[in-house]
Structure 1
Amino acid sequence: MNVLKSGEQMLKRAILSGRFSLVWTQYCPLPYKRPDPIPYCRNCTVPSFHQNSTRTLCSVLPSKDAASDLSRSNEEEHAPFFKMLAECRSPSDVLDLVDSREVYHLHISYCMSQMWKSIKKMSEDQRRCEISLMLAHPSFQKLCHKARVGAPCMSTSQLAYTLSSMVKLGVSQSSVVVQTLLRVMQERLNQLDEKSLSILCYTLKQMESSKNSDALTQGLKLILPEWIPKIQNVIALQNVMCLLGKDTPPVIKKNLQMKALSMADEFTLPNAQHMMRTLATIDLHSKPLLDIFSKRIAENIYGVPYPKMLMVLKSCRELFYRNSNLLSSISDYLATTLSIWSNKQIIFFLLEFEALCFNPVALLDAFAERVIQKPHSFALKDLFSILKIYSSLNHDLKEHKQEFLDGVTLMLESYLPRMTSVQLLRAVSFLCVFGHFPQVLLKKLLQKECLDELLQRGGTEYIGVMNNLHKLDLCLRLDNPPLPPSVSPLPDLHNVLQPNENRLHPRLISALKNLAGEDAVMESVVEANVYFIDAVITLSEAKDILSSPEEHSVTSQNSRRIAVLCVRSHAFCFGTTHPRSMLAMKIRHLKLLGYEPCLVGDFSTTSF
């Protein structure tokens, strides 16, 4: 009620009091000038605020095009103005035209739209300059005043276009003219057509919170469920979904999903890209829709620009959705066109792939060659990202592994004076996954002063620091690399075994015991006070039932120990049985301890 009352008082001050202050923004005041009278509209009755009567605003039927508001006779009368308006190439040109011609309320939305249209494709600097000239132009105040006073006479499409253009042009959203437009739109909610609804939804999503914008948004959310079955345009559907947001009730999300599926054939390639982002915006994981859009994008991957391609990957991550065809298409395209992409662009893509647990083998191989050839072209932040990606995915560089690690290590050493103790620990922990222990970095990290500083870390960094220290301590004990002289040993970190949530199925344990013998199978074994092994099968030469007769003759006299590990799907790269970082390190360490790891995948639960 306060919102409605404030809107009425605002219109009262604007229309009746005759005050003509700056209504568009808080810039330098312009010389006072009495406004031109607004042309009389016979559809508008004079509002009466002094009596208890209900005011009547202009009632204009909604139209698909603002030009339909003009009668045939008026079309000929206004045609010269629209022709001159179309020739304007900057906001200042439009304002010069406004200054030289009589402007009616029917012209306002066209003028505002032309002002935005003339600058939307300019560079940021040029656009900023044009907007500054626009705000300083004397006629801009005049045009905003006409928009404010003429708002009740406009159609819903004119109101929507005017509001949208003003927001895009940077007019202060707390200004009287913008708040007036919002207030009038509240009274016209039942007169909206599909195009006006789409523009209004998109504009409100870009606006800051205020009493009138929030009231209008809530009003729209009340009527939007009734609009869903009637929507015929893909863009309108996307704008409606974005305005509804993540808090949309499940029933309405279901209706939106069914509506989008019914329009699936109408989605173009740009629509499919934007719809992926829209689904992430409202947190709607619809596999049928995502599969349709993924297929369309994958089939036309060469026509997808860089920002949209990255946006698609981010949307997949936010929706916990993975499609092997889509991910492979993007990674293969990037690998074949690697020369046109900058280092940062490729790193951004690889970070998204890593978050999706997808191993783009061809792309990682191609990018590794660039790292080997030009290691000096990467900043410290880039090196951390590269190490995170390659170590997390446990990418096998084959014969290029040592050359790659040496190049990255050399660059890390050059950045050593600028690195904090936390950054140094992160770098070394990444390299530990590869079984690579650079002496220079270890010498600096294992200094007493550096270790003391790390152990004193608190807050949000504490967990990450302790995890990396545990990883380093484990690798130093089991890999046993040569250490630089005169370094301090790591303090006792009290390694605690993490509880294992996955256990082998009892029927599998029973089958193993029947196969290898009751005494040959030991359940729940812990190694190095860290690694949990679900079952260890000990096979002597006489009981080596898993070996063929040919292999049996050359089997070592020592018993074999097979470590059976129950592993969740997220410990592997997506779509493969290639182990990721921590599992790969566990396998390496178990081999050093004399075990033969045997992985049993638990795909009953998955992170995606």
Structure 2
Amino acid sequence: MEQSRNVDALQAGIWILVEQQIPKISDVFMLQSLMKCIGKDAPISLKRKIENKILKELDRFSSSDAQQTFSALAAMNYCSFPILNACSNKIIENIYHTPFEESIRVLRSCSILQYHNVALCSAMANYVTSGIFMWNTDEITPLLSVFEDLGFRAVELMDIFAEKVTNDPELLDLKAILIVLRAYSRLNHVPKCQNEFLESLSNALNMYLPRISNVDLLKAVFSFCTLGYLPQPALNQLLQEDILNELLTSDGIKKEQNNMMLHYVNVCLELDSPSSFTKPAAVFIKKSSLRLVYGFPEVQEALLKLLGDESMFQQNIELPYDYKIDFKIKMDADRKKVLPVTEADDLADDLDVQRLAVLCGHISDFCVGTSHPQGMLAMKIRHLKALGYHVILVHYHKFKTLKKEEAIKWLKGKIYSAEAFHGSCVNLQDNC
């Protein structure tokens, strides 16, 4: 029903009735149905009373009850960690008896709720991996898609699936190709058979080029480029003037998204392209340089303590191709001595000067539960290296958990060469 005063009053009345009936409900299915009915707009006080009721009933939940609870919480848009954690454990215990379709629904609910449980995702990935040749492509691609939404990188599954696709690329239709490309590029997963895998995907895509939409073509090329691979037939088609004009004259947010993807395709052509690659003539609208500037005080403080002076590093440096680095340091070629900014600037063209880029990644820039950078950050690192920088990647969320002395020691080990730095170095990957 459309919103009105009468509808609002009726809805409020239903919520009051539901609240009164909660203590009397003993049937789990009825409780879950009620959660789906009251929806995401229910007052938080009502959601908490339902949460408390479920917590009291958890001991008698079956695996099926646990699965359905995910959907019910997603319908309410209420992320209850005590309930979700308990239900996850119940599902993990019975993972090999969980219907595959229900597993997908559980993971989609996790995505809606922004609930990232590495143990649950790993159990589901291992379940599918253990019988990979029993599953068809139409079953695996939705799983890869929801893992991508969650930022979870199922390494073994993605390696084996890549090998399967490489051996028989005709398994994939256009929809599956786009899903696979997006998942592997966003999660920055480079399978063992990387070149053969990407070449197989490119050849599979070529068959659909005569009838692919321009937007899907752009998405596919953008995904390939994110992984550092340039699919020439698809690129040649994308860079035709009429196609570019259509993509860049879309309305609203689509135009902005298309502009962003085309910008990075252009950057990849400039920085990743081998000399033998013939670049079609194309005009790109420059991506807007307007962006939020984040501060990283813990990293700044550690650098100041380590280097002794603010003149030894620079912050928020704008680079060509619309890239930005959080901290810039210049050193001698052997990376034994940090040079003051003024001195380093005087030697800007000297090959004996080495430039370091300190990048601070937020938790959303990394795959869940790891320090593995996702696709956009990995592409930026690759391009900074092409621009002559040595890149130091800081997982900022983990860095903040280090004691000051550990943070300084970790940065020291990353900045100075092995010969210049002696002593054990804190491992940010393990300790954060």
* TM-score > 0.5 by shorter chain: yes
Please state if 1:292 is matched with 2:83: no
Distance in 1 (alpha carbons) for counterparts of 2:276 and 2:100: 45
Q: How does 1:506-517 map to 2 (within 5 A)?
A: 508-516=299-307
Q: How does 1:225-240 map to 2 (within 5 A)?
A: 225-240=19-34
1:248/1:439 Cα in 2 relative to 1: closer, same or farther (>3 Å)?
closer
Q: Which residue of 2 is the match for residue 478 of structure 1? A: 271
Please state if 1:567 is matched with 2:358: no
Instruction: Give structure 1 stretches of 5+ with no counterpart.
Output: 1-206, 208-212, 547-555
SS of the residue aligned with 1:599? strand
Distance in 2 (alpha carbons) for counterparts of 1:216 and 1:542: 74
Distance in 1 (alpha carbons) for counterparts of 2:205 and 2:334: 52
Alpha-carbon contact 1:437-1:481 (below 8 Å) kept:
no
Distance in 2 (alpha carbons) for counterparts of 1:305 and 1:567: 37
Distance in 2 (alpha carbons) for counterparts of 1:486 and 1:354: 31
Shift of 1:560: 2.3
Shift of 1:313: 0.4
Distance in 1 (alpha carbons) for counterparts of 2:246 and 2:300: 47
Q: Identify which of structures 1 and 2 has the higher relative contact order when contacts are C-alpha pairs closer than 8 Å and 6+ apart.
A: 2
Instruction: Find 2:291's aligned residue among 493, 499, 502.
Output: 499
Instruction: Find 2:222's aligned residue among 429, 446, 449.
Output: 429
Shift of 1:235: 1.9
Q: Which residue of 1 is the match for residue 391 of structure 2? A: 597
Please state if 1:467 is matched with 2:274: no
Please state if 1:362 is matched with 2:156: yes
Instruction: Find 1:576's aligned residue among 358, 370, 378.
Output: 370
Shift of 1:457: 2.8
Per-residue Cα deviation, 1:160-183 (whole angstroms, up to 9, x for no partner):
xxxxxxxxxxxxxxxxxxxxxxxx
Per-residue Cα deviation, 1:465-495 (whole angstroms, up to 9, x for no partner):
111111111112222444765822334x233
Distance in 2 (alpha carbons) for counterparts of 1:528 and 1:369: 37
Q: Which residue of 2 is the match for residue 345 of structure 1? A: 139
Alpha-carbon contact 2:259-2:287 (below 8 Å) kept:
no
Per-residue Cα deviation, 1:203-257 (whole angstroms, up to 9, x for no partner):
xxxx9xxxxx999987654422122122222222222222222222211211111
1:315/1:321 Cα in 2 relative to 1: closer, same or farther (>3 Å)?
same
Q: Which residue of 2 is the match for residue 409 of structure 1? A: 202
SS of the residue aligned with 1:588? helix
SS of the residue aligned with 2:352? coil
Distance in 2 (alpha carbons) for counterparts of 1:521 and 1:223: 63
Q: Which residue of 2 is the match for residue 535 of structure 1? A: 327
1:498/1:573 Cα in 2 relative to 1: closer, same or farther (>3 Å)?
farther
> Which segment drifts farther, 527-536 or 380-389?
527-536
1:486/1:559 Cα in 2 relative to 1: closer, same or farther (>3 Å)?
closer
Alpha-carbon contact 2:326-2:360 (below 8 Å) kept:
yes
SS of the residue aligned with 1:444? helix
Distance in 1 (alpha carbons) for counterparts of 2:253 and 2:299: 41
Q: Which residue of 1 is the match for residue 234 of structure 2? A: 441
**Amino-acid identity (%):** 36
Shift of 1:290: 0.5
Alpha-carbon contact 1:502-1:567 (below 8 Å) kept:
no
Please state if 1:420 is matched with 2:250: no
Distance in 2 (alpha carbons) for counterparts of 1:335 and 1:425: 31
Residue 60 of structure 2 aligns to which amino acid in structure 1? E
1:448/1:313 Cα in 2 relative to 1: closer, same or farther (>3 Å)?
same
Residue 509 of structure 1 aligns to which amino acid in structure 2? Q
SS of the residue aligned with 1:597? strand
Distance in 1 (alpha carbons) for counterparts of 2:177 and 2:224: 12
Alpha-carbon contact 1:516-1:543 (below 8 Å) kept:
no
Instruction: Find 1:274's aligned residue among 31, 51, 68.
Output: 68
1:587/1:284 Cα in 2 relative to 1: closer, same or farther (>3 Å)?
same
Alpha-carbon contact 1:439-1:483 (below 8 Å) kept:
no
Distance in 2 (alpha carbons) for counterparts of 1:495 and 1:248: 41
Q: Which residue of 2 is the match for residue 312 of structure 1? A: 106
Q: Which residue of 2 is the match for residue 6 of structure 1? A: none
Distance in 2 (alpha carbons) for counterparts of 1:292 and 1:356: 19
Alpha-carbon contact 2:15-2:42 (below 8 Å) kept:
no
Shift of 1:459: 4.6
Distance in 1 (alpha carbons) for counterparts of 2:258 and 2:10: 48
Residue 395 of structure 1 aligns to which amino acid in structure 2? H
> Which segment drifts farther, 401-410 or 535-544?
535-544
Distance in 2 (alpha carbons) for counterparts of 1:509 and 1:216: 55
Alpha-carbon contact 1:496-1:529 (below 8 Å) kept:
no
Distance in 2 (alpha carbons) for counterparts of 1:603 and 1:569: 6
Q: How does 1:105-116 map to 2 (within 5 A)?
A: none
Count, aligned residues = 383
Distance in 1 (alpha carbons) for counterparts of 2:301 and 2:10: 65
Please state if 1:397 is matched with 2:196: no
Alpha-carbon contact 1:261-1:289 (below 8 Å) kept:
yes
Q: How does 1:48-63 map to 2 (within 5 A)?
A: none
Q: How does 1:94-105 map to 2 (within 5 A)?
A: none
Distance in 1 (alpha carbons) for counterparts of 2:52 and 2:107: 24
Alpha-carbon contact 1:523-1:534 (below 8 Å) kept:
yes
Per-residue Cα deviation, 1:111-164 (whole angstroms, up to 9, x for no partner):
xxxxxxxxxxxxxxxxxxxxxxxxxxxxxxxxxxxxxxxxxxxxxxxxxxxxxx
Residue 259 of structure 1 aligns to which amino acid in structure 2? K
Q: Which residue of 2 is the match for residue 520 of structure 1? A: 312
Q: How does 1:5-44 map to 2 (within 5 A)?
A: none
Per-residue Cα deviation, 1:35-69 (whole angstroms, up to 9, x for no partner):
xxxxxxxxxxxxxxxxxxxxxxxxxxxxxxxxxxx
SS of the residue aligned with 1:419? coil
SS of the residue aligned with 1:598? strand
Normalising by structure 1, report the TM-score: 0.59
Distance in 2 (alpha carbons) for counterparts of 1:303 and 1:454: 46
SS of the residue aligned with 1:276? helix
Point out the structure with max Rg over C-alpha: 1
SS of the residue aligned with 2:315? strand
